[in-house]
Structure formats: structure tokens, C-alpha cells
Amino acid sequence: MKACGVVVEYNPFHLGHRYHLQKAREKSGADCVVAVMSGNWLQRGEPAILDKWTRAQIALANGCDLVVELPVQHALQSADFFARGAVTLLKALKVSSLCFGTENTLLDYAQLGGELLATERDLKEALVKEKHSGLSFPNQMKAAYAAVGVTTGFDAATPNHLLALSYAREVARLAPEISLVPITRVGSGYHEVELSGEFASATSIRQAALQKDFSAVAPFVPVETLAALKSTPLVSWADFFPFLNYQLTVATEDQLQKIYQMTEGLENLLKKITPQTDFSSLMKALKTKRYSYVRLTRLLSYVLLQLTQAEVTTTPNFLRVLGFNQVGQRYLSQIKKEVTLPLITKQEKRHHDILALSNRVDALYQLVPGVAEQITGRIPWRMD
């Protein structure tokens, strides 16, 4: 069997995601579509609106054959490290292709990935020079690409393309045997807040769902997503703000300094502006031109999760299976003797150290009233 990999969050799963899966299978010619999906905490520094088990079940009902969790030490990262973690898992899963949505499908991503890898050191130096330019991080990246002479087609308003470039470089670095299959992103823009177009953005769907406007959401999501949004708790930063506010209030500057990515005196600024009344007020007090919104929401996530540099760098990789159908089960049987990472379908005592960070994140997530058990007794979904 031949497998195609996709890297996803499904926050929540909508019709644009189903289109992506259909195109991935079609363009790759794969027998099995494998999704590496972020767990209960996501790349932009926010909790998933629906828990990872629910999102995996919906994905299986709408075109995925196998769903594997992207561990939080990779999921809660900037594009470069997010992509590196995802490609590491896809390589271990023996996929032959990686299919991704992008605003620019005309580039030769395999060639571009090699160029980005070859100029990586120069790119890092160019980024250091741009760091205090006053530009947003995407625009810093655009200037850095130009400085090293790599034609990327990058635009600050195309976040999917930024991820595509990161996938291309990491495939060139870690898994050149994986072919890259770009798919034109269609529908509303990533940050679009209005429910409109053929495929609405996940952002607009989340906003409407949190306001309980399910009739507006219904045309843009499959029935499984709509049912989950109506029947299960919808999680947001508001649910965790009291815990974060408490931690920021009682922690000292020295304690905060140990948190991952707590740099350039940010611990002093956090202590100065704490406490706040809600998450929005905290972000408004914290936000400056120097740091992007996403950089700061990720930092606050690290504080909430008490994530340290040591945990990020030493927590081992693993393949945590969240669900599969008959095709995915056959594919797992085909590769299980060849995988080089721990393959976890049921949590056992021997997984304690491997899953310690993941379990801490899930335990925090299920503090939200009504959220289903995330750890004890959970085994992969099996879909017929």
C-alpha cells in the first residue's frame, strides 16, 4: 500500500478540509491517507475548540484513513519546528508523499526545499538582522528570503505558503524520499472572520460556533462536525484564563524565566501587567510591535502548561494513534515492524515517561467542565 501524509489541526474540521483530503488522495494516487494532527493545543497558541479524539473521529468519517497525534512539543511551535516535527512523524510512518494546501502551487517545492536548506545559515543571519526592523515576523521572513536570494513567492498574507516552505525544507533535510504534492488553497482566507464563500475559514466557523450560531455554521461543515459543536463543550482561551492569571500572579520573575521561549525580559513585562480581568485584556497589555500576536499566545501557552526548554528538547518522539478505518488498519499492519518510533495504540505503564508531557496537557484540557476523558482508557477509534 502507498500512503499520502497530510499535516492538520482541524479546528474544527470543515468542508474545505474534506476537499483537501479528496484532492490529496486523487493527486498522490495513494491507497491510504495518513493525517498527522495536532492534539489538544494548537500551533497558534490556543486550545482546540473540540478535543483531539472528537476531531480524529470526524476526520475518519470524512476521508482520513489513519490519524496520528503530533506531540505538543512540536504542535505548539513556530512554522519551522512545527514542520520538522510533522515530517519526522511522516517519515517514521513511511508515507511516500506529503500533500499540503498553499496559495502558490506553481513552484517546484522539491527544488525550493533544497535551496532553502542550502541557504539555511544565511537565512538565520538575515533574520537576526531583521529582528529589530519593526516588521511583523512574516514580513521579516519575506525580507530575509529576499536577502539570501531565494525566490519563494512568499507573501506575508499567505500563512499556508509559509508552512509549505517549511515542509519543503524539512523534507529536503529529513526525508527526501517523500514527494511534495501542493494543492491550491480555495475558499476564504485563513484569518477571514466572515462566514462566506465556498469554503469558510476555520476562524469564522469557530467564532460563530462559540456564539452558538449553529445555523450559520451548518452550510460550511460536515454533519459530524455540526453535531459535535452542538453537543460537546466548545473550548477557548477563556476557559483557561483563570489558571493562567493565577500562575502569572504567584510566579516570580526567576520562575517565569525558566519557561520555554521566555526571552528578552518578557518575564518582567508579564509581572508588570499582571493580573488582568480576561485573556483579551492581558493580550492588549502585552502586545507590542516587537512581538506578533501568535508569538505571545504561544508564550502564554508555555506558561500555562509550565513548558520548559528541557522538556521541549528531551521529550522523545512517538506515534500516538488516535484512530483508523479498515484501510488505515491494514496500512499500520504493513509498516508496524518497520517504524522506528514507539507506536502507541493503548497507553501502558511503559509509556509513562514518553507521554508525561502529553498527559499533562490533556489533564489540563479536561479541566473544562463537560470535556470527555482524554487519557484513562482511551484507545484509537475504529471506523468500519
- DSSP states of 316-330 as a string? PP-EEEEEEEHHHHH
- DSSP reduced 3-state for 371: coil
Q: Which of 250, 277, 312 is the last residue of a domain?
A: 312
- Between β-strands 66-70 and 179-184, what pairing exists: parallel, antiparallel or unpaired? unpaired
pLDDT at 187: 57
Q: Kindly list the distances between the CA atom of residue 291 and the CA atoms of 52, 140, 203, 297, in Å, as whole numbers in the listed order.
A: 29, 12, 21, 10
In a domain, 305, yes or no: yes
**Within this chain, do residues 168 and 273 fall inside the same structural domain, yes or no?**
no
Bond preceding residue 342 cis, omega within 30 of 0 = no
* Residue 260 clears pLDDT 80, i.e. is over it: yes
pLDDT at 192: 54
A 10 A CB-CB count for 1 gives 15
Which residues have C-beta within 8 Å of that of residue 292, sequence separation ≥ 6? 136, 137
Q: Which of 257, 285, 312 is the last residue of a domain?
A: 312
**Within this chain, do residues 166 and 297 fall inside the same structural domain, yes or no?**
no
Q: How far apart are CA 293 and CA 295, in angstroms?
A: 6
Please list the alpha-helical segments (H only) found in 93-136.
109-118, 120-130
* Residue 191 clears pLDDT 90, i.e. is over it: no
**Within this chain, do residues 167 and 266 fall inside the same structural domain, yes or no?**
no
Structural domains of the chain, count: 2
Which candidate, 68, 57, 76, places its Cα nearest to that of 34? 68
Instruction: Encode pLDDT of 92-135 as tens digits.
Output: 999 999 999 988 888 899 999 999 999 999 988 988 888 777 77
Instruction: Encode pLDDT of 362-377 as tens digits.
Output: 999 999 999 999 999 9
pLDDT, average across residues 312-338: 96
pLDDT, average across residues 130-148: 78
In a domain, 29, yes or no: yes
**Within this chain, do residues 293 and 320 fall inside the same structural domain, yes or no?**
no
205 vs 289: which has the higher pLDDT: 205
**Within this chain, do residues 7 and 50 fall inside the same structural domain, yes or no?**
yes
**Within this chain, do residues 270 and 289 fall inside the same structural domain, yes or no?**
yes
Q: Which of 277, 312, 347 is the last residue of a domain?
A: 312
Which residues have C-beta within 8 Å of that of residue 89, sequence separation ≥ 6? 36, 68, 70, 317, 319, 341
136 vs 37: which has the higher pLDDT: 37
**Within this chain, do residues 10 and 83 fall inside the same structural domain, yes or no?**
yes
pLDDT at 185: 78
Q: How far apart are CA 300 and CA 306, in angstroms?
A: 9
In a domain, 212, yes or no: no
Phi, psi (degrees; rounded to nearest 5) at 29: 70, 25
- In the predicted model, what is the mean pLDDT of the chain? 92
**Within this chain, do residues 94 and 241 fall inside the same structural domain, yes or no?**
no
In a domain, 148, yes or no: no
pLDDT at 154: 65
Q: Which residues on neighbouring strands pair with residue 99, listed in sequence order? A: 181
In a domain, 140, yes or no: no
- DSSP reduced 3-state for 154: coil
**Within this chain, do residues 327 and 283 fall inside the same structural domain, yes or no?**
no
Angle, helices 109-118 vs 120-130, to 10°: value is 70
Share of the chain above pLDDT 90, in %: 79
**Within this chain, do residues 56 and 97 fall inside the same structural domain, yes or no?**
yes
Q: How far apart are CA 264 and CA 296, in angstroms?
A: 13
Which candidate, 216, 222, 223, 215, places its Cα nearest to that of 196? 216
* Residue 379 clears pLDDT 80, i.e. is over it: yes
Amino acid identity, position 211: Q
Which candidate, 319, 331, 325, 303, places its Cα nearest to that of 355? 319
Cα angle value 206/207/209 (rounded, 5°): 65
In a domain, 276, yes or no: yes
In a domain, 122, yes or no: no
Please list the alpha-helical segments (H only) found in 262-308.
266-273, 279-286, 293-305
A 10 A CB-CB count for 232 gives 15
Q: What is the CATH number of the domain that holds 357?
A: 3.40.50.620
* Residue 299 clears pLDDT 80, i.e. is over it: yes
pLDDT, average across residues 150-172: 81
pLDDT at 16: 94
Q: How far apart are CA 178 and CA 373, in angstroms?
A: 36
In a domain, 297, yes or no: yes
Domain that holds residue 40: 3-104+158-188+315-383
**Within this chain, do residues 243 and 97 fall inside the same structural domain, yes or no?**
no
**Which three cell numbers mark 246?**
493565577
Summarize the chain as % helix, strand, coil (round to 5): 50, 10, 40
- pTM here is 0.94
**Within this chain, do residues 172 and 305 fall inside the same structural domain, yes or no?**
no
Which candidate, 301, 257, 262, 250, places its Cα nearest to that of 279? 301
Torsion of CA 38, 39, 43, 45, to 10 degrees: 170
